[in-house]
Amino acid sequence: MRDFEKISFEQFRKDIKDDKELYESYKLPNRESTAAAGYDLFLVENLTIAPNEIVKIPTGVKMRCENDEVLLIIVKSSTGFKYNIRLVNQVGVIDADYYNNKDNEGHIFVKIQNEGDKTITFRAGEAVAQGVFIKYLLTKSDKGSDAERRSTY
């Protein structure tokens, strides 16, 4: 079953800030409307990004999904159109086995770049990216692997 959860406070303290009130106040991803495909990923804290600057954003969330599903992270259309903000990797791929990995609990990060010519400020609680769950298929010859997941961030 797919779902979003907050990372533990211990992980939050390590990756973001030792602030229990902030930890308890930020929002989990949700859809803006009943027909929306994407789950908005909300900023935990205010963010200012200068032209050409690249920023790695901790979301404070992890996701769980079925083994034949993936969460694709993409910039919100309005963020790209209005501000010329792009994901550095264009599309993030969060696999099912990233959930609760031993390196960072599966904490999802988003890395963006301001490709515009103005400094942009986003407020805590705003969404700059979104996640879309997708089922995927395997080839007939797929052998898979029993290798344990290693975080690459």
Query: pLDDT per residue over 5-34, tens digit each?
Result: 999 999 999 999 999 999 999 999 999 999
**Which has the closest alpha carbon to 79: 117, 113, 29?**
113
Separation between Cα atoms, residue 147 and residue 40, nearest integer Å: 31
Fold category of 3-135 in CATH: Deoxyuridine 5'-Triphosphate Nucleotidohydrolase; Chain A (2.70.40)
Model confidence at 148: pLDDT above 70: no
Model confidence at 106: pLDDT above 70: yes
Q: Enumerate the domain spans of the chain.
A: 3-135
**Which has the closest alpha carbon to 46: 126, 133, 131?**
126
The pLDDT value recorded for residue 143 is 83
Separation between Cα atoms, residue 121 and residue 112, nearest integer Å: 13
The residue to which tokens 């935990």 are assigned: 44
The pLDDT value recorded for residue 149 is 57
For residues 64 and 94, the answer to whether their CB atoms sit within 8 Å is no
Q: State the CB neighbour count (10 A cutoff) for residue 43.
A: 21
Model confidence at 85: pLDDT above 70: yes
Share of the chain above pLDDT 70, in %: 95
Model confidence at 89: pLDDT above 60: yes
Share of the chain above pLDDT 90, in %: 92
Give this prediction's pTM: 0.91
Average pLDDT, the chain: 94
- Plot region of 103 (φ>0 → left; ψ -120 to 50 → alpha; else → beta): alpha
The pLDDT value recorded for residue 18 is 98
User: Following DSSP, what letter does each residue of the chain receive, concatenated?
Assistant: --EEEEPPHHHHHHHT-S-HHHHHHPPPPB-SSTT--PEEEE-SS-EEE-TT-EEEEE-SEEEE--TTEEEEEEE-HHHHHHH-EEETTSSEEEEGGGTT-TTTTT--EEEEEE-SSS-EEE-TT-EEEEEEEEE----TT-----PPP----
Beta bridge pairs of residue 115: none
